[in-house]
RNA sequence: GCCGGAGUGGCGGAAUCGGCAGACGCACAGGUUUCAAAAACCUGCGCCGCAAGGCGUGCGGGUUCAAGUCCCGCCUCCGGCACCA
């Protein structure tokens, strides 16, 4: 008998519905013009950051964001929206190629295998993707358009070749963009990187810096993410100022500063060691020291330069400059020119005016090398001791402070005393402009986007090098496909392995003359910078995306992914969208309206007394403690990221095998707020599984002889009013919680309903259970669809509209209010909802009579429907 | 160093607008059922205390009838940036 129990069996129902949905294309999104397209429906575009199909397969971190967008997608469909919810593969790039190299298999082969794994893993989780729109960035039908878009960039003067120093990573055998290098090490693999000059394709993203900054304001992104982009763009308003080099007629050093007002305190100049003027201005006596310093600076990797940044270093060039504010014969205007590696050649003009009285770095440098520190401020804070030290230049004062009386030109054209910071800057800048010694200037930290790699597995450029220079491959000849290469490994030289594909490289230009193909390939971020556009119109053979399709679907209404793409991918995608907008190819200026960053799923790990992490396999549980399996030492539980090293990686396949996809989805959403990082606790998983079992038992009898449904659910009957009320509240709560992406509390509300319904199971009506299935559907679609079918719901649950809420059922006739005396809870009172204050107060007085005895009530506070507070004496 | 975010029971977390702190889940304890176990179900579960009661949202102050929530000053953890002139 027991073996025939009709218990909740996800292994039976999940594949059944997955196949049904897939075969019937239930989640196919219709474009304008498609048969059955309904223009009256609002559109909703819910997008996941598509994955790199790595060999490791899906990680539990992937389904976190994917489940969130799936819930929203299913809910939006139930609310009557035409929903675009696609999935694809970021298949080109370093991770795929590194894996291919490790396994000595061609990346085309490993990528195809990895994609197949990812697809089947995702399909086992019941996501409502429109699989007809699946795409891969490594598919020639896709990258044909990546190449085409690159040609648009080139046509608009936004792609150029450069020989400037770039980040070279020896271990990866390629160059990397700024955002791929962190503290001088590669973001992927943590390998050391260094700067080297190399011919590269570069995209002029800096031309869009101002718009990329300004358009952030209108986006529904977290402030912290916007701040990260703003800081990366790094806008800085200031001035450029020319200093004549003494003894070198006609030679000027141009510096950038945000504090032109401190020019009176500039007591030396500093050029970066790579500054082009260094060689020509260095005095013969200093040449040896300067060249030595330049060599040392060059041999230091960027990593060492930042790590060893604690102590300032530099040498004098032997040259002097003249501070333009002072008369030509005024000795105060004669200032030395130094070189130092704390000045960066790529920022501003690569040269600064040092004002030690107002800048900590300059102060440190001046102190170390005994350079003058002229005081330029006269603060009067009341701390006479400190004010005096600032005035004498003994203490650095980087903030706003009153100017000293001597901050004035001899002719009185500038007199800073009494002026504010803004007025001071203005006064000096106006003077500089009038005397043609400088101008207002805005600079950005953002640098142009290094857009080529010396690797095999990427999009080839549609570029030929001819005897006349660069020639672009005609649109009709796109895509330029990769040649098949047995040996695709980087050669250890800063050159693409494509150089070895001699038959491919050697070609003819449009005039039939010999030409060579470009051997650099595009970076991983190329294909991912526009995939959200292709999803709108994925099979278009005549355009990257029809204007009608992108006009309809864009912008993406909800984009969910990790913070790791805060500057790279999100900035690049915004840039390409703006360029395509300028070219008239898309209407929107911004691709992603709402962006949501999910937190990281972490795991427990165990540390011994020394703080060393003990792999999971070497631990065991003894009672409430976790101890070292061999030494028996008691271990401390910590929360950290999942890692092979700690042996704490959770594989979603295992969770699906044991509990089913619905449990995995539900657990990931129940763990906590989507935006938070939180640890995976295997002991918590059965909790949500039990909730699904209880939901199942509400409908299905334990033993088959009682039928596939409880008897009281086989026909319609009046709804129990108490459960009806509870259900409406639950619908209302779940609705609001999905809206604000608070999935954990939505699930908890459904749990409360099921607990209540379980207490009076036979009171539950078929209609109520059907509506509960509708609520559950976005979260646990398989069990919900199965219950819907068993209950005889009309059509497919995934096509059913969201159940309505009767606002009348959300209010109670009677409410229990808290009664406080002096702010402490002393009793409770039951009063009619909306009762007048005197009725509430009367009931409240009774509830806390013993606390009021012998006291004088001096104040009565009533919060309707919630609480009464008596203030007594 | 600078800029964000966070700190609530044994654990994950809830409290959406200043109004009953600890919803929901886990773990734990007791019980029902069972030959037994699992499962399921019921009850309890912040801390101290026999109780009355007191204490309690990182720490110290403040505002308020009322503070996890607001203000001031600290501490710790996480993320980002880091000599950007």
pLDDT in tens, A8-36: 999 999 999 999 999 999 999 999 999 99
Mind listing the pLDDT tens digit for each residue in A511-570?
999 999 999 999 989 999 999 999 999 999 999 999 999 999 999 999 999 988 888 999
Chain centroid, CA A377 distance in Å: 43
CB contact at 8 A, A497 and A489? yes
- Asked if residues A92 and A138 have their Cβ atoms less than 8 Å apart, the reply is yes
- Give the whole-angstrom CA distance, residue A673 versus residue A598: 9
Task: Please list, in sequence order, all residues whose beta carbon lies within 8 angstroms of the beta carbon of residue A37, skipping any fewer than 6 positions away.
Answer: A30, A31, A82
Strand B: which of residues 288-307 in chain A lie with Cβ below 7 A? 305-306
Res A301 pLDDT > 70: no
| Per-residue confidence (pLDDT) for residue A483, from 0 to 100 | 93
- Within a 13 Å sphere around the CA of A389, how many CA atoms are in the beta-carbon half? 8
> pLDDT (tens digit, 9 = 90+) per residue, A477-495?
989 999 998 888 877 677 8
Sign for the pseudo-dihedral over CA of A423, A426, A428, A430: negative
Q: Taking every pair of C-alpha atoms in chain A, what is the biggest distance, in angstroms? A: 110
**Which SS3 state, helix, strand or coil, does residue A201 take?**
strand
Is residue A399's beta carbon less than 7 angstroms from any atom in nucleic acid strand B? no
Helix/strand/coil for A733: helix
Report the distance from CA of residue A871 to the C1' of nucleotide B52 in Å, as an integer.
Answer: 23
Local confidence band at A3 (pLDDT 50, 70, 90 cut-offs): very low
Are A220 and A196 in contact by the 8 Å Cβ rule? The answer is no
Question: Three-state secondary structure along A817-866?
Answer: EEEEECCEEEEEEEEECCCCHHHHHHHHHHHCHHHHCCCCEEEEEEECCC
Q: Which residue's CA lies closest to nucleotide B13 at its C1' atom?
A: A672
DSSP annotation of A403: B
Of A307, A315, A226, the C-alpha closest to A273 is A315
Looking at residue A157, what is its pLDDT? 96
Q: Strand B and chain A: which residues 251-290 have CB closer than 7 Å?
A: 256-259, 272
| Closest nucleotide relative to residue A863's CA, C1' based | B19
Q: Tell me the C-alpha distance between A473 and A639, whole Å.
A: 53
Strand order, beta sheet including A824-832? A824-832, A814-821, A867-872, A857-863
CA distances from A498 to A93, A163, A518, A761 (A): 15, 20, 9, 69
A743 closest CA partner among A64, A142, A190, A130: A64
Tokens matching residue A67: 């489940």
Note whether A6 and A58 are within 8 A (CB): no
Q: What is the DSSP string of A259-290?
A: -GGGGGG--EEEE-TT-TTHHHH--GGGHHHH
Mean pLDDT of A807-815: 88
Position A305 scores a pLDDT of 66
- pLDDT per position as a tens digit, A146-192: 999 999 999 999 999 998 777 888 888 888 887 788 777 787 777 88
Mean pLDDT of chain A: 91
Give per-residue pLDDT as tens, A690-725.
999 999 999 998 877 777 888 888 888 888 898 999
Could you check: is the Cβ of residue A562 within 7 Å of any atom of nucleic acid strand B? no
DSSP string, A644-699: GGGT-PPPHHHHHHHH-HHHHHHHHHHSS-TTS-EEE-GGGHHHHHHHHHHHHHHH
Give the percent of chain A with pLDDT over 70: 98
Would you say A347 and A267 are in contact if contact means Cβ atoms under 8 Å apart?
A: no
The stretches of A676-780 forming alpha helices (DSSP H) are: 685-699, 721-739, 743-759, 766-776
Name A residues 142-201 whose Cβ lies under 7 Å from strand B: 179, 182-183
Average pLDDT for A304-313: 71
> 3-class DSSP state for residue A535?
coil
Q: Helix, strand, coil shares of chain A as percentages rounded to 5?
A: 40, 20, 40
Pick the range with the lowest mean pLDDT from A56-70, A341-355, A491-505, A714-728: A491-505
Mean pLDDT, range A375-398, rounded to an integer:
88
Q: How many CA atoms lie within 13 A of A176 on its CB side?
A: 27
Calpha distance A692→A665 (Å, rounded): 12
**pTM score, whole prediction:** 0.93
How far is residue A226 CA from its own chain's centroid?
10
**Two tokens at A502?**
């001699």
Record the tokens describing residue A356, joined without a space. 């030690």
- Where does the pLDDT of residue A303 fall: very low under 50, low under 70, confident under 90, or very high at 90 and above? low
What was the pLDDT predicted at A603?
Answer: 87
A670 touches strand B (CB under 7 A): yes
For chain A, the C-alpha Rg in angstroms (whole number) is: 35
Q: Which two tokens stand for residue A728?
A: 């409406």
Query: Whose C1' is closest to the CA of A599: which nucleotide?
Result: B79
Q: What percent of chain A has pLDDT over 90?
A: 67
Q: Which residue has the tokens 């993410």?
A: A225
Confidence tier at A748 by pLDDT (50, 70, 90):
very high
pLDDT at A684 over 70: yes
Q: Do residues A592 and A561 make contact, with C-beta atoms less than 8 angstroms apart?
A: no
A442 touches strand B (CB under 7 A): no
Residues A256, A443 contacting (CB under 8 angstroms): yes
| pLDDT of the residue at A41 | 94
CA dist., res. A570 & res. A563, Å (int): 10
At residue A1 the predicted structure's pLDDT band, cuts being 50, 70 and 90, is very low
> What is the pLDDT at residue A492?
67
pLDDT band for position A580 (50/70/90)? very high
Q: How far apart are CA A185 and CA A833, in angstroms?
A: 65
Tell if A358 CB is < 7 Å from nucleic strand B.
no
**Strand B close to A344 by CB, under 7 A:** yes
Contact (CB, 8 A) for A48 and A89: no
Cα separation, A415 vs A429, in Å, equals 13
Q: Could you give the CA distance from residue A818 to residue A395 in angstroms, rounded to a whole number?
A: 60
CB A206 within 8 A of CB A164: no
Q: Is the ipTM of this complex over 0.90?
A: yes
Q: Which residue's alpha carbon is at the shortest distance from the C1' of B25?
A: A687
In whole angstroms, B26 C1' to A370 CA is 65
Segment (H or E) for A641: strand A636-641
Nucleotide nearest to A259 (CA to C1'): B85
Contact A792, A714 (CB under 8 A): no
| Top-confidence range, A114-128, A157-171, A305-319, A630-644 | A114-128
Grouping H, G, I as helix, E, B as strand and the rest as coil, residue A116 is: helix
The two tokens of residue A454 are 């010396």
The mean pLDDT value for A275-294 works out to 94
- Chain B: nucleotides below 7 Å from protein CB are 3-5, 11-16, 19-21, 23-27, 39-42, 54, 65-67, 78-85
A623 pLDDT higher than 80: no
CB A240 within 8 A of CB A255: yes
pLDDT at position A2: 39
Beta bridge partners of A466: A469
B83 C1': nearest CA residue: A342
């Amino acid at each position: 008998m027991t073996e025939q129990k009709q218990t909740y069996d996800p292994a039976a129902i999940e594949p059944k519905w997955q196949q049904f949905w897939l075969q019937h294309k239930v989640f196919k999104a219709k474009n304008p013009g498609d048969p059955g397209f309904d223009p009256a429906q609002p559109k909703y575009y819910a997008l996941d950051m598509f994955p790199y199909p790595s060999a490791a397969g899906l990680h539990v971190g992937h389904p976190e964001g994917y489940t969130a967008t799936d819930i929203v997608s299913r809910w939006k469909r139930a609310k009557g929206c035409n929903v675009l919810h696609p999935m694809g593969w970021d298949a080109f790039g370093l991770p795929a190629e590194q894996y291919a190299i490790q396994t000595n298999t061609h990346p085309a082969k490993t990528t195809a295998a990895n994609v197949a794994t990812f697809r089947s893993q995702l399909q086992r989780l019941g996501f409502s993707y429109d699989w007809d729109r699946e795409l891969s960035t490594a598919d020639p039908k896709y990258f044909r358009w990546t190449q085409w878009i690159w040609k648009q960039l080139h046509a608009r003067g936004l792609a150029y070749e450069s020989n400037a120093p770039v980040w070279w990573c020896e271990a990866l055998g390629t160059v990397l963009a700024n955002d791929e290098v962190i503290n001088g090490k590669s973001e992927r693999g943590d390998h050391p990187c260094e700067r080297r000059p190399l011919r590269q394709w570069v995209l002029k993203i800096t031309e869009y810096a101002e718009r990329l900054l300004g358009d952030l304001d209108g986006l529904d992104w977290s402030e912290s993410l916007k701040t990260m982009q703003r800081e990366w763009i790094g806008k800085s308003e200031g001035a450029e100022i020319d200093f004549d080099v003494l003894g070198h007629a006609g030679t000027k050093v141009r510096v950038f500063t945000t504090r032109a007002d401190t020019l009176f305190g500039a007591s030396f100049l500093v050029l970066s060691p790579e500054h082009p003027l260094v060689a020509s201005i260095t005095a013969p006596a200093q040449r040896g020291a300067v060249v030595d310093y330049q060599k040392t600076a060059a041999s230091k990797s960027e990593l060492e330069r930042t790590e060893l940044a604690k102590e300032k270093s530099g040498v004098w060039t032997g040259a002097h400059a003249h501070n333009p504010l002072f008369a030509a014969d005024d000795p105060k205007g004669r200032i030395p020119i130094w070189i130092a590696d704390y000045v960066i050649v790529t920022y501003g003009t690569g040269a600064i005016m040092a004002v030690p009285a107002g800048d900590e770095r300059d102060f440190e440098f001046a102190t170390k090398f005994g350079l003058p520190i002229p005081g330029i401020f006269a603060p009067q804070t009341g701390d006479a001791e400190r004010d005096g030290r600032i005035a004498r230049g003994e203490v650095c004062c980087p903030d706003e402070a009153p100017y000293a009386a001597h901050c004035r030109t001899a002719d009185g054209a500038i007199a800073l005393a009494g002026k504010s910071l803004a007025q001071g800057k203005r006064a000096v800048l106006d003077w500089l402009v009038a005397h043609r010694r400088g101008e207002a200037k805005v600079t950005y930290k953002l640098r142009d986007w290094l857009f080529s790699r010396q690797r095999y597995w990427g999009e080839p450029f549609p570029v030929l090098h001819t005897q006349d220079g660069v020639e672009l491959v005609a649109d009709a000849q796109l895509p330029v496909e990769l040649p098949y290469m047995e040996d695709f490994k980087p050669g250890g030289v800063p050159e693409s392995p494509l150089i070895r594909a001699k038959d491919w490289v050697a070609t003819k230009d449009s005039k039939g003359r010999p030409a060579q193909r470009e051997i650099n390939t595009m970076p991983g971020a190329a294909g991912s910078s526009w995939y959200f556009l292709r999803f709108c119109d994925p099979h278009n053979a005549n355009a990257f995306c029809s204007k009608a399709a992108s006009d309809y679907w864009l912008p993406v209404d909800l984009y969910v992914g990790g913070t790791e793409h805060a500057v790279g991918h999100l900035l690049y995608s915004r840039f390409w969208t703006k360029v395509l907008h300028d070219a008239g190819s898309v209407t929107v200026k911004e691709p992603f309206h709402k962006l949501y960053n999910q937190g990281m799923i972490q795991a427990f790990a165990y540390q011994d007394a020394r703080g060393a992490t003990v792999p999971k396999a070497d631990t065991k549980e003894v009672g409430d403690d976790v101890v070292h399996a061999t030494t028996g030492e008691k271990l401390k539980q910590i929360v950290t990221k999942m890692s092979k090293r700690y042996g704490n990686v959770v594989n979603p396949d295992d969770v699906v095998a044991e509990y089913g996809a619905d449990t995995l989805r539900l657990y990931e959403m129940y763990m906590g707020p989507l935006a938070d990082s939180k640890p995976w606790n295997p002991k918590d998983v059965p909790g949500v599984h039990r909730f699904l079992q209880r939901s199942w038992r509400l409908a299905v009898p334990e033993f088959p002889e009682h039928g596939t449904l409880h008897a009281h659910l086989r026909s319609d009957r009046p709804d129990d009013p108490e459960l009806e009320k509870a259900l409406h509240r639950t619908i209302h709560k779940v609705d609001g919680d999905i809206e604000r992406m608070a999935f954990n509390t939505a699930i908890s509300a459904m749990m409360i309903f099921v607990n209540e319904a379980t207490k009076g199971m036979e009171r539950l009506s078929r209609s109520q259970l059907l509506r509960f299935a509708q609520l559950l559907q976005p979260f646990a679609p398989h069990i919900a669809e199965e219950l819907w079918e068993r209950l005889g719901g009309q059509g497919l649950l995934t096509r059913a509209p969201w159940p309505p809420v009767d606002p009348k059922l959300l209010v109670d006739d009677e409410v229990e209010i808290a009664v406080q005396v002096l702010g402490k809870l002393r009793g409770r009172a039951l009063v009619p909802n909306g009762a007048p204050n005197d009725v509430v107060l009367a009931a409240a007085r009774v509830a806390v009579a013993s606390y009021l005895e012998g006291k004088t009530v001096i104040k009565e506070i009533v919060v309707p429907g919630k609480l009464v507070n008596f203030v007594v004496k």
